[in-house]
Amino acid sequence: MPRQVHLFDPPERFVAGTVGQPGDRTFYLQASAQGRTVSVALEKLQVQVLAERLEELLETVRRQTDADVPTVAPRELEDTAPLDAPVEEEFRVGTMGLAWETDGERLVVEALAQAEDETQAVVEPLSEGDEGPDALRVRITAEMARAFIARALRVVAAGRPPCPLCSLPLDPEGHICPRQNGHRR
């Protein structure tokens, strides 16, 4: 069966968000345009790494080209709204890819579905083949990327606070702290 590529060029909205309470949250990337919304699930670390890599790519483009790359997100693109409901997971993200298109001065972000088994063929992100895992692909401006980065970092930081002794996440009822010889903190 050919893969399905959910293309948003450009999306009206591209955000990272969560469903659930800190300590039991599911992280999503969500793209929306023209009444269509696609949500894909991923890990907290993947959201953080995506934001960091987008930042690095924007800085590289800013230094090496004459593209107009802002250093901060424009205030009008700030997005603090919750994810669009209902949040229906299309797939769980395995691999991601980033690219800069010099023609339109746009970033391309692609999230590929996790392989269902180890016999499934490996497909490089941003490839145009008909075979392989489903994908979410968005083409965004540098301004939209800056807004995505700011929100993604806020979403990641909004988790459980760290224990002052061991830096492990604190649950509301505390946790068993290794620095306290296994006693509750």
Residue 182 lies in a domain: no
Residue 168 lies in a domain: no
- Kindly report the CATH number assigned to the domain that includes residue 147: 3.30.2450
Is the pLDDT at 118 greater than 70? The verdict is no
- What stretches of 2-157 show up as alpha helix (H) in DSSP? 44-64, 142-157
Q: What is the pLDDT of residues 150-183, one digit of tens each?
A: 999 999 998 777 788 887 777 777 778 887 776 6
Residue 185 lies in a domain: no
Q: What is the pLDDT of residues 101-117, one digit of tens each?
A: 988 889 999 999 998 76
Mean model confidence pLDDT for the chain = 88
Residue 166 lies in a domain: no
| pLDDT on residue 184 | 66
Residue 104 lies in a domain: yes
Taking the C-alpha atoms of residue 182 and residue 163, their distance in angstroms, rounded to an integer, is 13
User: CA 71, 75, 78, 81: dihedral to nearest 10 degrees?
Assistant: 170
Residue 100 lies in a domain: yes
Residue 83 lies in a domain: yes
Taking the C-alpha atoms of residue 141 and residue 135, their distance in angstroms, rounded to an integer, is 20
pTM, two decimals, is 0.84
Q: What is the pLDDT of residues 82-99, one digit of tens each?
A: 999 999 999 999 999 999
- For 11, counting Cβ atoms within 10 Å of its Cβ (0-12 exposed, 13-18 middle, 19+ buried), the class is buried
What is the extent of the structural domain holding 26?
Answer: 5-160
E strand residue ranges, 69-141: 89-101, 106-113, 135-140
Split into its structural domains, the chain has a count of 1
